[in-house]
Homo-oligomer: A and B are copies of this chain.
Amino acid sequence: MNSSEDTIAAIATPPGQAGIAVVRISGPDALNIGDKLFKARSGPVSACAGGSFLYGHLADPAGKDGGDLDEAIALIYRAPHSYTREDVLELQCHGGRQSAGRTLRAVLQCGARIADPGEFTRRAFLNGRIDLVQAEAVADLISARTERAARVAVEQLEGRLSSSLADVYDVLLSLAADVEGSLDLDDDEMERELPADWAQRLEVVRGNLQALLSTWGEGHLVRDGALVVICGRPNTGKSSLMNALLGKPRAIVAPEPGTTRDTIEEEMILEGIPVRLVDTAGVRKTDSAIEGEGVRRALDLLAKADLVLHVVDTSVPADTSYTCLDEGLSKTRRIAVLNKSDLPQHIAAEAVVNVSTVTCCALKGDGVESLRKEMAMCLGVSENREPHAVISERHRQLVEKALVELGLAAGSFDGNQDLVLSAIHLKAAAEEIGKILGRSYTDDVLDSVFSRFCVGK
């Protein structure tokens, strides 16, 4: 078990050839290690004020003639004014394969231990500098694949989601306290009506949590990206549609065997959302075992899809062999893409019911912009929307638990008016929200949150 009394160290920059690499050291011994390793004309690291940096040389602890490991800059942070709220020393040395590794080894030789993934941020959380929602935002920001994901993460890092949740938490605890307080009153008073604002306050909180819950979809798309599956019969123009959406020809666009290679996949950005665009390459009802496997995989993809683009060639009469595909589609958000609008039409757009349609000619690019807009609408994303707090899967699960508790609390207000039970459910709801913020936590929760961090953060 790693102790938080240890002084930890890690390389905080990615591997690769570049100008700068940074080795970060945090803990009670950080500045002493600096004194051992870092030689500056202006004196020892431990004599420096926090918020200052020094130019100097890293002495090689194994060097015979006082040889240096590198030139370096040492940044001195003094507790609590640091990322971890501990004493922190950052050694900026040259980039490349060797310098950071040599510097880290020397730091470890001087008594630090190597940091676990996310351990610096874990300490920032444990020492109260940030809450768990903000800690998660750090990992979101580092792994952000789009500008938009970065904006959402920064906003979360700066506390907008945290403060919404903290408000809910406070209201729930104060309401629970009011309910509990009323239990101490005598029986006469107990017979009175419940204060009118209790149910109202509860409803406001439920509304706020429902609103937060509705941001999960966007949060999921921004963090994990959207899975958009293109399906349809062979030769309806799916590959052309893929090219048109990607805005570039794929290296090889050729009729796919379908039974052997089941999907073609590319990444695109739609309104700031990373999109995995997958072409299922010609699914049809079949009795062949091999093609049946292809169909099974396509149906799997359709079940996971955030959006399906169902490509229909309107220049040929409708085909009735689509049953199995339609079954898969019925449960998923989808757009019917009526392709080959430039050819004589045999299927009218009006004939397609229960699903939004976009008419296009993928080969020429006509209608593709409309399709992108329709896709964004179906996915519920818009680049122009200001970033706002969006919750993650972990948050969603806890918000849903809190809402269940609030439903029970509201029920006991309305029904038997068992105020003891109401108070218990209100406090249980607050507890779930507190878990989101990390006001209560277990090591398992922290391990799971911080395991997705890189080392050095």
* Contact residues of A between 311 and 338, Cβ < 8 Å to B: none
Residues of B within 8 A of A401 (CB): none
Q: At the interface, yes or no: A69 with Cβ under 8 Å from chain B?
A: yes
Alpha-carbon separation in the docked complex, A16 to B17 (Å): 12
**Which partner residue on chain B sits nearest A18 by CB separation?**
B14
A150 pairs with B99, CB closer than 8 A:
yes
Assess whether A68 is interfacial by the CB under 8 Å rule.
yes
Nearest CB of chain B from residue A147's CB, rounded to whole Å: 6
- CB-based nearest B residue for A121: B19
Contact with B along A30-49 (1 / 0, CB 8 A): 00000000000000000000
**What sequence of 0s and 1s flags, for each residue 77-101 of chain A, a beta carbon within 8 Å of any chain B beta carbon?**
0000100000000001011111100
A150 contacts B102, C-beta separation under 8 Å = yes
- Number of this chain's copies in the assembly equals 2
Residue ID in chain B nearest A141 by CB atoms? B94
Instruction: Enumerate chain B residues within 8 angstroms of A10, measured Cβ to Cβ.
Output: 19
Name the B residues within 8 Å of A64 (CB-CB).
386
Interface membership of A243, Cβ < 8 A: no
Q: How far is it, in angstroms, between the C-alpha of A259 and the C-alpha of B163 when the chains are bound?
A: 70
Q: Are A142 and B18 in contact (CB under 8 A)?
A: yes
Bound-complex Cα distance A411 to B267 (A): 71
- Is A141 touching B14 in the complex (CB atoms < 8 A)? no
| Interface residues of chain A: helix, strand, loop or mixed (majority) | mixed
Distance in Å from the Cβ of A85 to the closest Cβ of chain B? 12
Residue of B nearest to A48 (CB): B51
Query: Interface with B: A20-28, A168-176, A415-423, which one?
Result: A20-28
Whether the pair B145, A457 counts as a contact (CB closer than 8 A) is no
Query: Is A15 located at the chain interface by the 8 A CB criterion?
Result: yes
Q: Does A454 contact B (CB under 8 A)?
A: yes
Q: Report Cα–Cα, A143/B146, bound state, in Å.
A: 30
Instruction: Collect the chain B residues with CB atoms within 8 Å of residue A55's CB.
Output: 81
Tell me if A386 and B65 are in contact (CB < 8 A): yes
* Total interface residues in chain A, CB < 8 Å: 59
Q: Is A367 an interface residue (CB 8 A)?
A: no
What is the bound-complex CA distance between A94 and B170, given in angstroms? 31
Residues from chain B with a CB closer than 8 A to the CB of A179 are none
Q: How far apart sit A36 and B456, CA to CA, in the bound complex (Å)?
A: 29
Report B-chain residues with C-beta under 8 Å of the C-beta of A21.
13
Cross-chain contact of A98 among B68, B102, B144 (Cβ < 8 A): B144
Asked if A54 lies at the interface with its beta carbon under 8 angstroms from chain B, I say yes
Chain B residues with CB under 8 A of A157: 71
Contact A147 B13 (CB under 8 A): no
Contact of A95 among B17, B97, B142 (CB under 8 A): B142
Closest 10 CB pairs of A and B: A14-B16, A19-B457, A98-B150, A96-B142, A12-B19, A14-B18, A19-B456, A12-B20, A98-B144, A14-B14
How near does chain B come to A131, taking the closest CB pair, in angstroms? Answer: 15
User: A70 an interface residue at 8 Å Cβ cutoff?
Assistant: yes
A95 touches B53 (CB 8 A): no
Alpha-carbon separation in the docked complex, A143 to B92 (Å): 17
Complex contacts, A16 vs chain B, CB 8 Å: 14-16
Taking A12-B19, A16-B16, A97-B144 as known contacts, 13 extra A-B pairs with beta carbons closer than 8 A to each other, sorted by chain A number, are A12-B95, A13-B18, A13-B19, A51-B52, A52-B52, A55-B81, A67-B151, A67-B155, A71-B154, A71-B158, A95-B142, A95-B454, A97-B143
